[in-house]
Structure 1
Amino acid sequence: MTQQTTARPLPTAADTQHMAQLLAGFQQSQALYAFGELGLANALLAGPLPVTTLAAATGTDPDALTRLLRFLSVLDVVSYGDDEVFALTPLGATLADGPGSVRSLARFWTDTHYLPFSDLVSTVRTGVPAFRTHTGQTFGAWLDDHPEHMASLIGAMSDVALSIKVDLLQGYALPPGRIVADIGGADGTILAHLLGPGTERRGIVMDVPSAVAPATRRLTELGLSGRVVAVGGDFFEAVPAADVYLLSTVLHDWDDDQCATLLANIARAAAPRAHLVVVEAVLPDTDASHPAKYNDLTMLGVGTGRERSGQEYGRLFTAAGFTLVRQIPGPSYNPFSILEARLAR
């Protein structure tokens, strides 16, 4: 029997250059962070500006700013011509304040995730999250000791909710039930979108105690303070009673045992035949490119959570007494899917 051998992959010069660009990802993320943090995107919202005018408006050095913006033009964040008048692109506008913004996400990831990821090699060797290796604490414990980052965390979650999740949920109707509980719901943006006006349905947003005040403010801004209440607590201990439970990018934060505890608490508190609506980035079963794979690497480096396939979520639901009813994938550009399950009893 002849043993077959596989030829060694031979990179081309183009492959080498491509890898060099990928390795420069640390420069890209810091350049994007600087663009948002310095208010450059906001300054360009009204229209193109000469670099000298933009530098004066943002308190930056004209030469350094020019070099930063030239680099960002490669990423399609800005555009410019021979006169070095810089214009904001739609992609660049995501780092300005307003609809579709991820400026808070850029701030949060850079302030909390960037340096810990330098220990990713240790994570792959040991399975211990890079964040814990770098800081000596779990992510949750570190946040408790650094509450100054809570505002950017809530802002980042709101960014994602407004720009990506709401897009997924356009036209989606919650299953029937008078009381809807958004567990781990941050400021309640997603629940507010799903409840909408002109309905008698009532809502509960449950998150950590420090999130109650900003959630209350947000619900008041949306005119929902009379229908939706924000409560603080530990969902690993107990959750409020409800007819429909919403878990929007919550389960991916935790390992299987922690997810089992949370889902069991929901099953215990839920009304008979209650519905469960889960919004997560669901891993494909193939090697196809998918944003969930990026998200999963983030989870690997920061905490004990993970992204999961539809089958893996189905097993979690079944173990807690829920039956997966359907999975609704988002459009190709949207990483999230909706999974609906129903309590068996």
Structure 2
Amino acid sequence: MDKAEPQETVSADVPDGPPPSLHMVQLLAGFQFSQALYAIAKLDVASQLDDGARAIDELAANCGARPELLRRLIRSLAPLGVFRQPNEDTVELTPLGATLSARRPGSLRDVALYWMETHYLPFSEILHTVRTGEPAARHYFGKPFFDWIVADPDMAELQNRGMAGLVGGIRDRMFDDYRLPAGEVVADIGGADGTILSRLLAAEPARRGILFDLPEILPSARKKIEETGMADRVDVVAGDFFESVPSADVYVMAAILHDWDDASCVRILQSVKRAAAPGARLVVIEGVVPPGDEPHATKLIDLVMLALTTGKERGEAEWQQLLSTAGFALDRIVPTKEDYSFIEARLL
């Protein structure tokens, strides 16, 4: 009787891709890549490669970097698809690397600068947050994150540019098929430099706008409104949304409420309720966390909320409950091509 041939067995539980240990090493190494990319953004390397390949020695001289060390940085990032090297002394941009060029539409250079200069170091205290409930940024900076930002005009300006970079770079298409509810005056509450308000009003010349934010945030807003040709349609108003907001027919809040705990959100929404014109509508532009384990941007953004603020990302039931508590009824949630939705509500 012949012996049966040994059969090779493959576990059905082994996923495609790298083994778990290698995958974990790659995840743990993320901080190294983010800092390397920050150095590239800060030196503005990508902008200097927009016109084609260059010698690394020449590039280093223009960037104020040491040639050999810049060469090593580029060599480390090339396998990730950021650069291409025809030879060891020359480098050129890839489409991925080009997203860090300040000269390109939709540039993410300011996003890289903003995240690495404001988010990166507070994240070293996230263990403190999980143990105590105090946001890592407050523990690290000694004050709430946004108080730290507005205390430095340069940092406030960087935040505006970073947020505008996210909208223009990766989120702009979410506005393509959306139109605001009816109403003549649209107030963007916490509207930063006006990028979103300008985008929403661009195709609707009959509407007027109000850009509302803290006085420390608004210097760049007036310039942006001028650049978009909307100075005659948009009023720039300074104030604190915890205290009061201007009267309007439609209120827009883009990525504002996720920065705050529920009680603070209710205070903000009640400021809107007190000021709103009869029949006013509210449009909250935020992510809606889906159930289950499926990948979704909100689940990663929630880490930022955990580390920097008292806020959080919310699911549909949480949004409905929050709005109801503040005196609003959820009308509909309009998903977009990105991981964000337009959450429309009305006053009860």
Please give the TM-score of this superposition, normalised by the length of structure 2: 0.91
1:209 counterpart letter in structure 2 = P
Hey, what does 1:236 align to over in structure 2? Answer: 242
Hey, what does 1:274 align to over in structure 2? Answer: 280
Decide whether the 8 Å contact of 2:191 with 2:213 is kept in 1.
yes
Offset at residue 310 of structure 1 (A): 1.9
Q: Which structure has the larger Rg over C-alpha atoms?
A: 2
Hey, what does 2:7 align to over in structure 1? Answer: none
Offset at residue 242 of structure 1 (A): 0.5
Hey, what does 1:194 align to over in structure 2? Answer: 200
Q: Is 1:19 paired with 2:24?
A: yes
Hey, what does 1:30 align to over in structure 2? Answer: 35
> Partners of 2:130 and 2:77 in 1: how far apart?
32
> Partners of 2:142 and 2:132 in 1: how far apart?
15
| 2:188 counterpart SS class | strand
> Partners of 1:13 and 1:248 in 2: how far apart?
38
2:184 corresponds to which of 178, 183, 187: 178
Q: 10-19 or 159-168, which moves further after superposition?
A: 10-19
Q: Is 1:91 paired with 2:96?
A: yes
1:71 counterpart letter in structure 2 = S
Hey, what does 2:309 align to over in structure 1? Answer: 303
2:328 counterpart letter in structure 1 = F
| 2:147 counterpart SS class | helix
Decide whether the 8 Å contact of 2:185 with 2:209 is kept in 1.
yes
Please list the CA deviations of residues 166-218 of structure 1 after superposition, one character each: whole Å capped at 9, or x if unmatched: 21111211111000000000011111111115622110000000222211111
Q: 159-168 or 274-283, which moves further after superposition?
A: 159-168
Hey, what does 2:56 align to over in structure 1? Answer: 51
Decide whether the 8 Å contact of 1:165 with 1:190 is kept in 2.
no
Hey, what does 1:4 align to over in structure 2? Answer: none
1:289 corresponds to which of 295, 299, 311: 295
> Partners of 2:150 and 2:91 in 1: how far apart?
41
Relative to 1, partners in 2 of residues 1:231 and 1:52: Cα closer, same or farther, differing over 3 Å? same
Hey, what does 2:151 align to over in structure 1? Answer: 145
Hey, what does 1:322 align to over in structure 2? Answer: 328
| 1:278 counterpart SS class | strand
Q: 208-217 or 228-237, which moves further after superposition?
A: 208-217
| 1:289 counterpart SS class | coil
Q: 223-232 or 142-151, which moves further after superposition?
A: 142-151
Relative to 1, partners in 2 of residues 1:151 and 1:82: Cα closer, same or farther, differing over 3 Å? same
Q: Is 1:76 paired with 2:105?
A: no
For the aligned residues, what is the CA RMSD?
A: 2.0
Decide whether the 8 Å contact of 2:57 with 2:89 is kept in 1.
no
1:261 corresponds to which of 267, 270, 274: 267
Decide whether the 8 Å contact of 2:150 with 2:217 is kept in 1.
no
Q: Count residues with an aligned counterpart.
A: 334
Offset at residue 282 of structure 1 (A): 1.9
Hey, what does 2:9 align to over in structure 1? Answer: none
Q: Is 1:129 paired with 2:125?
A: no
Offset at residue 148 of structure 1 (A): 2.8
> Partners of 1:328 and 1:62 in 2: how far apart?
50
2:118 corresponds to which of 95, 112, 123: 112
Decide whether the 8 Å contact of 1:243 with 1:275 is kept in 2.
yes
Offset at residue 132 of structure 1 (A): 1.5
Q: Is 1:338 paired with 2:342?
A: yes
| 1:276 counterpart SS class | strand
Offset at residue 83 of structure 1 (A): 5.1
> Partners of 1:245 and 1:76 in 2: how far apart?
41
| 1:91 counterpart SS class | helix
Decide whether the 8 Å contact of 1:282 with 1:336 is kept in 2.
yes
> Partners of 2:193 and 2:261 in 1: how far apart?
24
Decide whether the 8 Å contact of 1:207 with 1:232 is kept in 2.
yes
> Partners of 1:164 and 1:237 in 2: how far apart?
33
Relative to 1, partners in 2 of residues 1:13 and 1:144: Cα closer, same or farther, differing over 3 Å? closer
1:113 counterpart letter in structure 2 = H
Gaps of 5+ in 2: 1-12
| 1:87 counterpart SS class | strand
Please list the CA deviations of residues 25-84 of structure 1 after superposition, one character each: whole Å capped at 9, or x if unmatched: 111110010111101010111112232332233232222111111111222211223455
> Partners of 1:233 and 1:99 in 2: how far apart?
31
Offset at residue 13 of structure 1 (A): 8.4
> Partners of 2:202 and 2:317 in 1: how far apart?
31
> Partners of 1:228 and 1:45 in 2: how far apart?
35
Gaps of 5+ in 1: 1-8
Please list the CA deviations of residues 79-135 of structure 1 after superposition, one character each: whole Å capped at 9, or x if unmatched: 223455322122212211131212112112211221111111111111111111222
| 1:304 counterpart SS class | coil
Relative to 1, partners in 2 of residues 1:262 and 1:84: Cα closer, same or farther, differing over 3 Å? same
| 1:128 counterpart SS class | coil
| 2:346 counterpart SS class | strand
